[in-house]
Each structure stands twice: as structure tokens, then as C-alpha cells.
Amino acid sequence: KDEKAKQREQEAELNKKCIYAKDQLRQYEDSGYLYQLDKDGNRVIMPDEHRVAAINDLRTQIKKNCGS
């Protein structure tokens, strides 16, 4: 019983990661740009290379966690 419970927990965690990654990917693809906040709370726009890298990382996470 413990192994089945552990397996269900792991599957639930992967599903959670999958949903989060898909949502982030949709937001990143829909946005014109990404930004980070500096120490003063001001937006600093990230270069396009960083946006593309972030999108590719999310796609990798989706493949890993979602099995597709």
C-alpha cells in the first residue's frame, strides 16, 4: 500500500509540474517580451535570446513531465 501511495504522490507531482509548465509556456509564447525585476522593483526586459531559451526549457520540462 505504501508503494502505491508513493507512486500516486509522484504522479500527482508530475501532473502539477506538467500543468504549470504548459501554463508558463502559453504565457511566454503569448507575451511580446519577458522581464525580470531589479533590486528596486523596476522591470528589466530580457533579451530575445533569453526568452527563446526560457521557452525551450519549458518545452523540455513538458516533454519530461508530461510524456509528450
Q: Is the pLDDT of residue 63 over 70?
A: yes
**What are 9-37's pLDDT values in tens digits?**
988 988 898 999 999 999 999 988 899 99
Q: Give the global pTM.
A: 0.72
Which DSSP helix (H) or strand (E) runs through 45?
strand 43-45
CA atoms in the 13 A half-sphere facing the CB of 21: 21
Q: How is 17-43 classified by DSSP, letter by letter?
A: HHHHHHHHHHHHHHSS--EEE-TTS-E
Only one residue has cell 508530461, namely: 66
pLDDT at 3: 86
| Cα–Cα distance measured from residue 9 to residue 32, given in angstroms and rounded to the nearest whole number | 36
Q: Is the pLDDT of residue 1 over 80?
A: no
